Amino acid sequence: MATTTRRALFEHWFKQPATLLPDGHKALAPTDPLQLLINRSSFGLRSAEYQAAQALGFDGWLERQLNPESIDVSGLESALARLLPTLSMSNAALIADARATQNSFRSFIELRSATFLRQFYSGQQLYEVMVEFWSNHFSVEHISGPIRQFKTPDDRAIRSNAMGSFRDLLNANARSPAMLFYLDNYVNVVSGPQENYARELLELHTLGVNGGYTEDDVKNVARAFTGWTINGRGDYEFIFNGLVHDFEAKTFLGQAMPAGQGVEDGQQVLDILASHPSTANLIATKLVRRFVADNPPATLVDAVAQVFLSTGGDVRSMLRTIFSSSEFAASGDQKVKRPAEFVMSAMRVLDLQFQGDAPIRRINAYLEQLNQLPFMWPAPNGYPDVQGYWINTTAWLTRWNFAFAVAENTLAPGLYFNPATLIGSANKAAEVVDVLADRLLHRPLLDEDRALLIELVAGGAPVDARIDARTLQLRVRELTAVLLASPYFHFR
Partner 1 sequence: MKNQLSRRDFHRLACAGASIPLLGSRVGWSASRKDASNRDVIVVVFQRGAMDGLNAVIPYTENLYYSRRPTIAVPAPGGGAESAIALNDQFALNPSLAPFKALYDAGELAVVHAAGLTTPSRSHFDAQDFMERAWLSQGSVFDGWLNRYVSSLEASTATFRAVGMGTAVSRSLSGAAPVVGLSSIEDFGIESASQRSESLKSLLSQTFDGQSFVDSTGLRAFAAVDELATSPAVNAEVENGAVYPDGAFGQRLRDLAALIKSDLGVEVATVDIGGWDTHNNEVNELNPLLAELSEGLAAFRTDLGATMARVTVVTMTEFGRRAYENGSQGTDHGRGSAMFVLGGGVIGGQVYADWPTLADAALDNGDLAVTTDYRAVLAELLIKRGGVSDLSAIFPGLESSPTSGLFA
243 binds partner 1 (CB under 8 A): no
Min dist CB 142 to partner 1, Å, is 15
Determine the longest span between alpha carbons in the chain, in angstroms: 86
- Site track 189-228 with partner 1 (rule: CB under 8 A), x = hit: x-xxxxxx--x---x-----x-----x--x----------
Phi–psi pair at 256, nearest 5 degrees: -85, 135
Residue with smaller CB distance to partner 1, 121 or 400: 400
Chain Cα centroid distance, residue 58? 22
Answer for which of 69, 100, 233, 393 binds partner 1 (CB under 8 A) is 393
Measured distance CA(230)–CA(254) in Å, rounded: 30
434 binds partner 1 (CB under 8 A): no
Min dist CB 31 to partner 1, Å, is 16
Residue with smaller CB distance to partner 1, 118 or 250: 250
Min dist CB 305 to partner 1, Å, is 21
Candidate ranges 72-80, 187-195, 315-323, 421-429; the one touching partner 1 (CB under 8 A): 187-195
Phi–psi pair at 386, nearest 5 degrees: -130, 145
Torsion, Cα 293 297 300 302, to 10 degrees, reads 130
Query: Which among 318, 310, 316, 309 has a CA at the least distance from the CA of 288?
Result: 318
389 binds partner 1 (CB under 8 A): yes
One-letter amino acid at 433 equals: V
Measured distance CA(446)–CA(341) in Å, rounded: 23
Angle at 97 between CA 76 and CA 239, to 5 degrees: 95
Residue with smaller CB distance to partner 1, 12 or 99: 12
Footprint (CB under 8 A) of partner 1, residues 444-483: 449, 452-453, 456, 477-478, 481-482
Answer for which of 299, 326, 381, 471 binds partner 1 (CB under 8 A) is 381
Given a contact cutoff of 8 angstroms between Cβ atoms, the answer to whether 130 and 322 are in contact is no
Phi–psi pair at 269, nearest 5 degrees: -60, -45
Residue with smaller CB distance to partner 1, 10 or 121: 10
Footprint (CB under 8 A) of partner 1, residues 273-312: none
One-letter amino acid at 270 equals: L
Footprint (CB under 8 A) of partner 1, residues 17-76: 17, 19-27
Min dist CB 419 to partner 1, Å, is 13
Candidate ranges 59-67, 270-278, 311-319, 392-400; the one touching partner 1 (CB under 8 A): 392-400
Given a contact cutoff of 8 angstroms between Cβ atoms, the answer to whether 432 and 479 are in contact is yes
- Site track 155-184 with partner 1 (rule: CB under 8 A), x = hit: ----------------------------xx
Measured distance CA(417)–CA(174) in Å, rounded: 44
Answer for which of 252, 404, 422, 444 binds partner 1 (CB under 8 A) is 404
Instruction: Enter the DSSP assignment of 213.
Output: -
CA gyration radius, the chain = 24
Measured distance CA(399)–CA(214) in Å, rounded: 43
Which residues, including other chains, have CB under 8 Å from residue 461's CB and lie 6 or more apart?
Answer: 467
Measured distance CA(410)–CA(63) in Å, rounded: 38
Candidate ranges 105-113, 160-168, 280-288, 403-411; the one touching partner 1 (CB under 8 A): 403-411
Min dist CB 76 to partner 1, Å, is 30
Given a contact cutoff of 8 angstroms between Cβ atoms, the answer to whether 32 and 446 are in contact is no
371 binds partner 1 (CB under 8 A): yes
Answer for which of 48, 379, 420, 469 binds partner 1 (CB under 8 A) is 379
367 binds partner 1 (CB under 8 A): no
Footprint (CB under 8 A) of partner 1, residues 313-332: none
